[in-house]
Structure 1
Amino acid sequence: MIEFQNVSKVYPNGTRGLNQINLTINEGELVVIVGLSGAGKSTLLRSINRLHDISEGNIVINGQSITTASGSGLRRIRRGIGMIFQSFNLVKRSTVLRNVLSGRVGHHSTLRTVLGLFPAEDTALAMDALERVNIRDKAYSRADQLSGGQQQRVSIARALAQQPQIILADEPVASLDPLTTRQVMDDLQRINRELKITTIINLHFIDLAREYATRIIGLRAGEVVFDGTPAEATDDVFAHIYGRAIHRDEVLGDHPPGDDVISVIPSKPGVAAGGVQ
């Protein structure tokens, strides 16, 4: 489904965001990417739909290189990739329905979408997407009248309206409270299972990664240092990914009182179970 072939990203200031990444993400997986801030999570995710261009290598989606694609070919590939942002990226003064319909812009001419001339089939798709995330009743409300969790559900519905093969979610629950966080993650998991949409999520909370992922990829300094199942992603493995102990704010769930460190770094971080490299 998605192949990273010797992918590197070097920023203009010389910072290496990704370093020789080789990965294959299969159709229907729910992959969670973990790592410290600056480890390359967002760079990796956003390189899939070319929000970030890579410096070296190739990214292939369903047998087609998005790295070398241009014009209508690039638009066609991107049309199959839905994107969910931490900050929702909604037009706040517009209705929920209009925001969701913006997921259809890649299917129509620029003039038609600017004028808001979406066919009835698109409206039906948008309403179905809102139903899937349980906010169909908010279709004609303004986006800025919704809670943060509801706004994130609108952004999920917008991605669904694209009828994508892939959904990318960049820290989609970072600004949400614990209850709403689980509701949004439940939506993403249900969509992945029911629609078989390949889903790739950057997450901060390690317990959510274990609970929702079918596969966890750990990044450290732009390199893959773990690639395995949630069962293999032990506290020691996470400590190796982070290069330090797990902190309290990296776990969403309840934890006993004490200091901010809730896990110790393993004595031999290079040999922890579950695929640590």
Structure 2
Amino acid sequence: MIRFNQVSKVYPGGTVGLNNIDLTIGKGEFVVIVGLSGAGKSTLLRSINRLHEITSGEILIDGQSITAAQGKRLRMMRRGIGMIFQSFNLVKRSTVIRNVLAGRVGYHSTLRTMLGLFPKPDMELAFDALRRVNMLEKAYQRADQLSGGQQQRVSIARALAQEAKIILADEPVASLDPLTTRQVMDDLRRINRETGITTVVNLHYVDLAREYATRIIGVRAGEIVFDGTPIQATDAAFSEIYGRPVSGDERLGGQALEAN
């Protein structure tokens, strides 16, 4: 589904974001990427849809190079990749339904989308997406009137309306309280299980990674230092990923892990 072939990213000034990454993520997986801030996990995630351009190597989506894609081909490939951000990236003054319909922009002309002329099947997709995240009753409410958790659910609905084959979520719960965090993670897991959409999530909390992932990838200094199941992600494994024992603020429960 997603294949990294010897992928490296070097930022101006010489900082290494990714160092010769070889990685395959299969269809339908729920992958959580963990690591310290600056370890390269956001670079890894955002290189999949080319929000970050790589320096060398190649990334394949369903066997086709997104690295080499240009113009219409690149737009078509990105259409199949939904993105969920920590800051939600909603148009705050627009209604919920208009924000969800933004997921359909890649399917229509610029003029049509600017005028808001979405056909009936798009409207049905958008309403169904809102239903999946229990936000249907908020369809005509302005986005800036919603709580943070509700806004993140709208961004998930936008990715569903996009008919994405892949969902990338970059720290989607970092700004949410513990209860809302679990509600959003529950939505992502349920959608992954019901639809088979490949889901790749960056998370700060190691206990959430263990609870929700089918596979955990640990990144340190731009390299993959762990790739295994949640059961294999022991306290000692997390300490190796972080280069130190995991601190309490890296657990949603707030307690430090003891290396063993």
* TMscore range, shorter length: over 0.9
Aligned match of 2:247:
247
- In the alignment, the residues of structure 1 paired with residue 114 and residue 15 of structure 2 have an alpha-carbon distance, to the nearest angstrom, of 38
Taking the aligned partners of 2:193 and 2:147, their CA distance within structure 1 comes to 26
Superposition deviation, residue 264 in structure 1: 4.0
Distance apart, 1:156 and its partner CA? 0.3
Task: Provide the identity percentage.
Answer: 75
| Map of 2:89 onto structure 1 | 89
Question: Structure 2 counterpart of 1:82, which letter?
Answer: G
Aligned twin of 1:170: 170
CA contact (8 A) 2:248 2:254 kept: no
- The two structures, once aligned, show a CA RMSD in angstroms of 0.8
1:28 aligned residue: 28
Q: How does 1:85-234 map to 2 (within 5 A)?
A: 85-234=85-234
Bigger relative contact order, structure 1 or 2 (CA pairs below 8 A, ≥6 apart): 2
Partner of residue 80, structure 2 = 80
SS of the aligned residue for 1:73 comes to helix
Which residue in the other structure is 1:263 paired with? 257
Cα drift, residue 263 of structure 1: 2.9
Contact 2:33 2:219 in 1 (8 A): yes
Task: Measure the CA separation in 1 of the matches of 2:25 and 2:257.
Answer: 30
Measure the CA separation in 2 of the matches of 1:254 and 1:71. Answer: 46
Distance 2:77 2:140 in 1: 31
CA contact (8 A) 1:240 1:265 kept: no
Q: Which runs of 5+ in 2 are unaligned?
A: none
How far the C-alpha of 1:67 sits from its partner, in A, is 0.1
2: distance between equivalents of 1:146 and 1:109? 30
Q: What residue is the counterpart of 2:40 in the other structure?
A: 40
Q: Once the 2 structures are TM-superposed, how far is the Cα of residue 12 of structure 1 from its aligned partner?
A: 1.0
Write the deviation string for residues 33-79 of structure 1: whole angstroms up to 9, x where unpaired: 00000000110000000001100000000010000000111011000
How far is the alpha carbon of 1:29 from its aligned partner?
0.1
The Cα shift of 1:253 comes to: 2.0
Query: Post-superposition shift, 1:115?
Result: 1.0
Q: Which runs of 5+ in 1 are unaligned?
A: 256-261, 267-277
Q: Distance in 2 between matches of 1:197 and 1:242?
A: 29
Code of the residue aligned with 2:117 in structure 1: it is L
| Partner in structure 2 of residue 62 of structure 1 | 62
Aligned partners of 2:257, 2:166: CA distance in 1, in Å? 34
Q: Give 3-state SS (helix, strand or coil) of 1:231's partner.
A: coil
How far apart, in 2, do the equivalents of 1:237 and 1:42 lie?
A: 20
Q: Which amino acid aligns with 1:200?
A: V
CA distance in 1, matches of 2:59, 2:65: 6
**TM-score normalised according to structure 1 size:** 0.93
Letter in 2 for 1:174: A
Give, in whole Å, the separation in 2 of the partners of 1:44 and 1:23: 10
Partner Cα separation in structure 1 for residue 189 and residue 259 of structure 2:
30
Q: 1:23 to 1:245 in 2, by over 3 A?
A: same
Distance 1:245 1:230 in 2: 17
Q: Deviations over 1:136-157 (max 9, x none)?
A: 0000000000000000000000
Per-residue Cα deviation, 1:73-116 (whole angstroms, up to 9, x for no partner): 10110000000000000000000000000000000011111111
Q: Amino acid of the residue matched to residue 77 of structure 2?
A: I
Who is 1:2 aligned against?
A: 2
User: Residue by residue, what CA displacement relative to the aligned partner does 1:182-223 show, whole Å, maximum 9, x if unpaired?
Assistant: 000000000000000000000000000000000000000000
* Counterpart Cα distance in 1 of 2:44 and 2:184: 22
Shift of 1:265: 4.4
TM norm structure 2: 0.99
